[in-house]
Structure 1
């Protein structure tokens, strides 16, 4: 079983992990996080109820209480952790993975993430080696509903939508819990009921194949934009009125339109982010910090730099207003604020995107290979040592920059892939560089 990942515990249920491992996670978690209670939420996957049962049993057998918030988006669990002043929390979800997957996202007090370098490896050791001795004075499961409080937090960000034509794909996932409460029923909705088997498409909008229906809906309905959430609603992605999928790092610049027009400040981006976004944010007065990929790193870094907000290529957006956590729904409301303002000025969403994007971008490309380290070393030798870059970042793979182009190559933390993103001032230069780099990587397959 290899379910302990960099950011969470996740895998195919009953293959990579099972109810017995879940029980032990529950048993040892209160000790790890020094808490006599654990907030627990869950998504609607078919295995989530069994996982909930065994997680609670483990937590209670340790003597700690479960604060059950019921069905929840992952950001709702982060909200509950702070709102209830809890010492620990778990969301039962596999986020954007197919229905046969499930997992556990763990946070400590203040909704700080528990990742591989912040407790997850210690928890794994306890689960594998520790002795379970159920206490006599078992804990209880206590109901702690927080949905109304979370909606009350989100409502002030909801713009007036009169005259705005919106299509939304809720992916049969957890966005169904909140969207109509916030935006109302009178929009063009797809897959707007819970179904943990995800019959329409996998709940991963980063794969454009899963965005076919929302793209078609935007064009059919002549919508001003389309919105699609992933399975646990911590990520969100957007389609412009032309039916184009908007690369998620460009949305970080769109969010800058909302925040940086009010107050200049620090902004966080991941190491794969387009120069188009960086330069646009700097024009708006943002001071941009580049950091590692993943929520376990981003939340801590945003807090460290006192950032206003941050964004990732994967469609996670983080907010100081939201305890430095990510929320797909909050990001959607803020983008709607920007689009509503554009609409009032007679401008389109695509016109803003076309203003932001000034580089040709490859998107993220994946190479499945065993010799990842050797491939990365070869790329580093050629591009960072033999040539003369203007910048080399080496904290999450390598980002190697030249005046007119750059690339990032990094190992996936969750899958057996080497991931490449490249960008150049012209499409011709981009094609040439991607071909060159790909040839080096493929020589190690």
Structure 2
């Protein structure tokens, strides 16, 4: 592909280039021409100003990913930069390549979205995020300008010699790197069921958990579910955040008498955990467990616990900051979203960060998210324990949560005002507006247990007329009461 044929652009890139990444329908929104223009813009806005001489590009198993990633690479090369194509990889595999090679990068994936979608996650060298406020808006605008001016063919002029495009396999290096961060070789034997959902976990799990890449055999028996790479997702969507997509894994854990189940999303940057009973372990509990391990490792290395920071977002369980403090470290609270988490981690020098959505971030992984490294930590903790995962995880599951509930509303501001007023009338409460509205009632005002803790967060969607509600409380009855009151207040102005 030398340059796409010039034709008037009918695509509005703002429709599918949002706060964190590119995510559009193929080919109606995202096709080779658009990918080429975005690649060219990425080179001009990110790579060249940062002093990079090359860019690394990877892709997932979706049918459109190879050609789209190649078109992006050719757009980059047209700006005089070399491109290293690493082919099939998970998103954290791309982050590994960006960090290890010191190059800006792009990953072609739509993560857990349905098969008709594809997208691009972009980063600076060292896996530093590119989001709406850190270059993505400028990339979008320049690519739109190029498409609107039918300028794609013109960007190879001005005497710029095109860069070269080469290929490199980094899977073995990625596997060795992760295995070097967590040692589980001496642990007790575990039976592990892994549901890859026909996504990239089927590519990375064998390399990391089995004997690929010249690594020693781990004390694991891996039972694979849906390891065949298939971007049409024939068995279920690769989105473990939705409970129905965990049903096969839950049944298989019980059927095989397994110690643990792991589920990865489509690009394998998120990991969900199932205990030996077939019950989910919440991402907040996993955040607490991994945080405790990372804090202990830092302390063992001579770092004072009070100098260790762990990041969590506004809707992770209240147990997470409790656990961080109990281990002597400092919790750092931030907005929801990977670009905010990564930026806060780098600013604070945090050792670890976790989100309610099962994204886990590690200082030793360039502050980027990796579901596979989180899975290794859980396997190591379970292998060291003398109890089943249900008992191990119970120490980190302290409160009862509603999960995120979406409501379609006409006036998000009015609905938020109603819940604020109710909460202030039922105080004492604290009010926080870091990300949406968070109201916390600390409880403990009575000795008989009749004044339990509760909190809720209400956040407006950036893209739809929705309010997102999360509620947590000391007990189920309190959570359900607060949840139902909040939903009634929010939906008093619902869009029928």
Quick one: distance in 2 between partners of 1:276 and 1:415?
30
List aligned pairs for 1:314-325, cutoff 5 A: 314-325=357-368
Q: Is 1:145 equivalent to 2:169 in the alignment?
A: yes
Q: Deviations over 1:345-396 (max 9, x none)?
A: x211111222222222111112233432332233234335x55454322121
Q: Deviations over 1:278-330 (max 9, x none)?
A: 21232222311110111111111011111110100000000011111100111
Aligned residues: 440
On the 8 A contact 1:277/1:357 being kept in 2, the answer is no
Q: Deviations over 1:13-42 (max 9, x none)?
A: 223433322111011111101244221000
On the 8 A contact 1:30/1:36 being kept in 2, the answer is no
Quick one: distance in 2 between partners of 1:68 and 1:414?
32
Alpha carbons of 1:412 and 1:100: their partners in 2 closer, same or farther (altered >3 Å)? Answer: same
Q: Select which of 56, 67, 70 maps to 2:84.
A: 67
- 2:7 corresponds in structure 1 to none
> Which structure 2 residue ranges, 5 or more long, are not aligned?
1-11, 212-220, 300-304, 443-452
- 1:349 corresponds in structure 2 to 389
Alpha carbons of 1:369 and 1:280: their partners in 2 closer, same or farther (altered >3 Å)? Answer: same
Alpha carbons of 1:218 and 1:413: their partners in 2 closer, same or farther (altered >3 Å)? Answer: farther
Greater Rg by CA: 2
- 1:303 corresponds in structure 2 to 346
Alpha carbons of 1:354 and 1:414: their partners in 2 closer, same or farther (altered >3 Å)? Answer: farther
- 2:4 corresponds in structure 1 to none
Quick one: distance in 2 between partners of 1:372 and 1:12?
28
On the 8 A contact 2:409/2:466 being kept in 1, the answer is yes
Q: Select which of 189, 195, 198 maps to 1:169.
A: 195
How far off is 1:174 after superposition? 0.9
Q: Is 1:23 equivalent to 2:36 in the alignment?
A: yes
Structure-2-length-normalised TM-score: 0.85
Q: Is 1:271 equivalent to 2:314 in the alignment?
A: yes
Quick one: distance in 1 between partners of 2:462 and 2:108?
20
List aligned pairs for 1:417-428, cutoff 5 A: 417-428=466-477
Alpha carbons of 1:16 and 1:415: their partners in 2 closer, same or farther (altered >3 Å)? Answer: farther
On the 8 A contact 1:257/1:338 being kept in 2, the answer is no
Quick one: distance in 2 between partners of 1:439 and 1:65?
56
On the 8 A contact 2:172/2:207 being kept in 1, the answer is no
Q: Deviations over 1:122-179 (max 9, x none)?
A: 1111122244423252222122322222112012224135421211111111112221
Quick one: distance in 1 between partners of 2:480 and 2:326?
28
Q: Select which of 333, 337, 347 maps to 2:376.
A: 333
Q: Select which of 48, 51, 55 maps to 1:38.
A: 55
- 1:134 corresponds in structure 2 to 155
4+ runs of 1 displaced by more than 6 Å?
A: none
Q: Is 1:377 equivalent to 2:417 in the alignment?
A: yes
Quick one: distance in 1 between partners of 2:465 and 2:283?
23
> Which structure 1 residue ranges, 5 or more long, are not aligned?
none
- 2:430 corresponds in structure 1 to 391
SS of 1:443's equivalent? Answer: helix
